[in-house]
Amino acid sequence: MQRRAFLGSPLLAPALFARLGEAISNLDLISTHEHLFSEEERYASQPDFFVLADHYALNDLVSAGLPAGDLVPLRDRRLPAVQRWRLFEPWWRHARFTGYGQALRIAVRDIYGISDVNAGNIERLNAAIAAANRPGLYRDILKRRMKLRYGVLDDYWRGEPVRPDPEYFRLARKFDWFCTPANPAALKRMEEVTSVSITSLDGLVRALERRFQQSLDAGLTAVKSTIAYQRELLFADPSKHEASAAFDALARGGNTSRRQLEDYMFRQVLRLTEAHNLPFQIHTGIQAGNANVIANTRPLLVANLLRDYPRVRFDLFHAGWPWPNEVMAMAKMFPNAYADFCWTHILSPASARQALDEMIGAVPSNKILGFGGDYRHVELTCAHSVIARDNIARVLAARVEAKEMTEDEALALARAFLHDNPASLFEPAPRA
Ligand SMILES: [Zn+2]
């Protein structure tokens, strides 16, 4: 009962919470998942407040009722900021307290010193964002404020694999598009980027292998999949003959089911992931955006893959929200399953706390990955890390107060979640 009261109003033991929170806020961080631009891309892109809001807060404004037709003027940089604010504000009012809204407010407050954006200060805020948008911003935010060792980067907007700046990043790449070709033109595109002729299923597999090698050459650290944005996460184990038949129909331009081809190719990606001893980062749980099939993303749908590929370490993203219990069950049962709280602290801060608290009591602590920012802009990733550290501190302080662990043990857990566990996942000792 005592702990519940503590979580409800976090300051039953303010000295303990302050001490632990301070210690946790100083821990080095490895982010399991980012979409951050390279520094050059960032400075060239010249974001303003509305660009920051576009990832992901605007999703909640749309959900609140912001008309689709208002998105165009809202994103139109030629219009005065105050005019765009008038479209934004009526819906922002309803989205300020969501995790996305909190992250945006913390970013604007901590980095730009504005505690409450409004029509009177929006121009000043945009001027401050523009003034800070120059070399030094990444070092200041990612290193000095956020204490980031590195983030695992999914630069999905980039066609070709490119080695990212090792000061900040490690490379994750997706191969989903080799699993879900929709038409002969998609095969043609794969031929262009790999220089491999694709006239059969074997050709498609060879092209995938070539793409995998190109990504390894650029420093591939993790394989990533967001295939749950396109289809259900249940993968059968079709024969090569069945997959070939589906390929041939596709290559002829037929409109038959491609499911067996997709399932077969997804397993080819897992085969390569295993061969190169890389972690496999898979999106589970709700998708970003405002109109997708949430039921496709249920974490338990991938449980058969955990059995079929026991040597592949599955990094189960987003704690499977809104089904963190499914990720918890898999991380408890399978040695090769990890529960990853990337994105989770802003999807629902309270759910993240609840899930972390439950997992501490159910899952070995080396299976829990505490943070991934999942943003394009450094201000927001930094703000997300503030929420994540606060969440972790609140959960652990309650356990210390309940005398389930010492303060030192709590701090060691926080260090494992935020640094040591991702380090051992992404920097494994060579396999015997
Ligand atoms: Zn992401």
DSSP 297-312: G-GGGGHHHHHH-TTS
Query: What is the C-alpha to C-alpha distance for residues 245 and 241, in angstroms, rounded to an integer?
Result: 6
3 state SS of 225:
strand
pLDDT > 90 in the chain, percent = 94
Dig out the tokens for 357 from the structure. 């608290």
Looking at the predicted structure, is the pLDDT value of residue 184 above 80? yes
- Mean pLDDT across 181-209: 97
Q: Give me ligand 1 centre to Cα 367, in Å.
A: 20
Residues 6 or more apart whose CB falls under 8 angstroms from that of 315 comprise 32, 222, 279, 280, 281, 282, 338, 340, 369, 425
Q: Give me ligand 1 centre to Cα 376, in Å.
A: 9
CB atoms within 10 A of CB 165: 13
The pLDDT value given to residue 3: 42
Q: Give me ligand 1 centre to Cα 224, in Å.
A: 10
Q: Give me ligand 1 centre to Cα 239, in Å.
A: 32
- Mean pLDDT across 64-75: 97
> pLDDT digit string (tens) for 113-170?
999 999 999 999 999 999 999 999 999 999 999 999 999 999 999 989 999 999 999 9
Q: Band the pLDDT of 432: cuts 50, 70, 90.
A: low
Q: Give me ligand 1 centre to Cα 35, in Å.
A: 6
Q: Give me ligand 1 centre to Cα 409, in Å.
A: 31
Q: What is the pTM of this model?
A: 0.95
DSSP string, 312-380: S-EEEGGGGTT-HHHHHHHHHH-TTEEEE-TTHHHH-HHHHHHHHHHHHTTS-GGGEE------SSHHH
Domain parsing of the chain, residue ranges: 47-132, 137-426
Looking at the predicted structure, is the pLDDT value of residue 1 above 50? no
Q: Give me ligand 1 centre to Cα 300, in Å.
A: 20
Q: Give me ligand 1 centre to Cα 374, in Å.
A: 5
Q: Band the pLDDT of 219: cuts 50, 70, 90.
A: very high
> pLDDT digit string (tens) for 7-33?
444 555 889 999 999 999 999 999 999
* Tokens 């929170």 belong to residue: 21
Looking at the predicted structure, is the pLDDT value of residue 254 above 90? no
Q: Give me ligand 1 centre to Cα 339, in Å.
A: 15
Query: CA nearest 99: which of 406, 404, 335, 349?
Result: 349
Would you give the DSSP letter of residue 418?
I
Q: Give me ligand 1 centre to Cα 193, in Å.
A: 24
Query: What is the C-alpha to C-alpha distance for residues 371 and 374, in angstroms, rounded to an integer?
Result: 9
Q: Give me ligand 1 centre to Cα 100, in Å.
A: 14
Is residue 185 classed exposed, middle or buried when 0-12, 13-18 and 19+ CB atoms within 10 A define those classes? exposed
The pLDDT value given to residue 431: 63
What residues does the ion ligand 1 have nearby, CB within 5 Å? 374
Helices within 114-169 (DSSP H only) = 122-132, 137-138
Q: Give me ligand 1 centre to Cα 277, in Å.
A: 22
Query: CA nearest 389: which of 97, 20, 139?
Result: 20
Q: Give me ligand 1 centre to Cα 33, in Å.
A: 6
Q: Give me ligand 1 centre to Cα 225, in Å.
A: 10
Q: Give me ligand 1 centre to Cα 165, in Å.
A: 19
CATH placement of domain 137-426: 3.20.20.140
Q: Give me ligand 1 centre to Cα 15, in Å.
A: 36
Q: Give me ligand 1 centre to Cα 229, in Å.
A: 11
- Mean pLDDT across 194-202: 97
Q: Residues 406, 377: contact at Cβ < 8 Å?
A: no
Looking at the predicted structure, is the pLDDT value of residue 83 above 70? yes
Q: Band the pLDDT of 2: cuts 50, 70, 90.
A: very low
The pLDDT value given to residue 7: 44
Give the residues across from 151 on adjacent strands.
Answer: 31, 169
Q: Give me ligand 1 centre to Cα 256, in Å.
A: 31
